[in-house]
Amino acid sequence: MSKKIIIFFGPPGSGKGTQAGMLARITDWKKISTGDLFRAEILAGTKIGKVADKYTKVGKLVPDKITLNLVEKSLKQKALGFIFDGFPRNRQQLKDLLVIFKKALKKNDQIYAIEVAVSDKEVKQRLSQRRMCACGKVYHLVYNPPINGGVCDICGAKLFIRNDDKPKVIAHRLKLYHDESKYMLGYWQKQNKLIKIGGEQSIKKIHEEIMEKLKGLKLI
């Protein structure tokens, strides 16, 4: 049987990570998220984990070589499919990933990209209303507000805006996303392997649309 590979794309706040997780649970395909991979290596205290820890502690991106090594290793797991979330992030990583695919996959394995499309306006709206608590709980002032304005329902601590969610930083993250995704989405579009999903609907509706399209392509 051929393996299925799904690569999720979407701007920050598009909810693609949530969708990747839902798809992984329902299909039992393995989710490959570089953030999770690093956390697992750090927890296990491996050599790679120790190097990754040094970078993430100071808020730096782990060098591509290490990331690719981990991705290649994960693709060797026994699974009928793999779901990528948050990787590749740029054209170089896409090129490197295609090299890995060539080595690790067979000719009849199928690779598709899913774009969870959300307008810049909606991204700004979603992220600027996001509030965090030091305990890890995340709120949204419109969709998921705290009971008592400004403090956490669980621990009572004062909520704050993540630096990443400040307007200037959001604009910068969006620009980065558009610069890089233009090339990557164009690549999959040319191969006729791009599935575009409207991301401005409920989580459940987005999930249903993804399932419908994958069924239509006989991927599930």
Residues labelled catalytic: 16, 89, 130, 162, 173
Identity of the residue, 43 or 157, whose beta carbon is nearer to Zn ion in the bound complex: 157
Identity of the residue, 158 or 215, whose beta carbon is nearer to Zn ion in the bound complex: 158
Helix (H, G, I), strand (E, B) or coil at 184: helix
Residues in CB range of 180: below 8 A, 6 or more apart: 89, 90, 91
Other beta carbons within 10 angstroms of residue 29's beta carbon come to: 21
Quote the distance between the C-alpha of residue 80 and its chain's center: 20
Identity of the residue, 9 or 139, whose beta carbon is nearer to Zn ion in the bound complex: 139
Q: How far is the CB of 134 from Zn ion (least distance, A)?
A: 6
Name the residues that contact Zn ion, by CB under 5 A. Answer: 133, 135, 137, 152, 154-155, 157
Q: How far is the CB of 59 from Zn ion (least distance, A)?
A: 22
Decide if 17 contacts 82 (C-beta within 8 A).
Answer: no
Decide if 4 contacts 80 (C-beta within 8 A).
Answer: yes
State both tokens at 204. 């459940």
Identity of the residue, 59 or 136, whose beta carbon is nearer to Zn ion in the bound complex: 136
Other beta carbons within 10 angstroms of residue 36's beta carbon come to: 14
Q: How far is the CB of 106 from Zn ion (least distance, A)?
A: 47
Helix (H, G, I), strand (E, B) or coil at 87: coil
- Separation CA 25–CA 28 (nearest Å): 5
- Separation CA 192–CA 169 (nearest Å): 33
Decide if 112 contacts 6 (C-beta within 8 A).
Answer: yes
Q: How far is the CB of 157 from Zn ion (least distance, A)?
A: 5
Decide if 87 contacts 34 (C-beta within 8 A).
Answer: yes
Identity of the residue, 151 or 176, whose beta carbon is nearer to Zn ion in the bound complex: 151
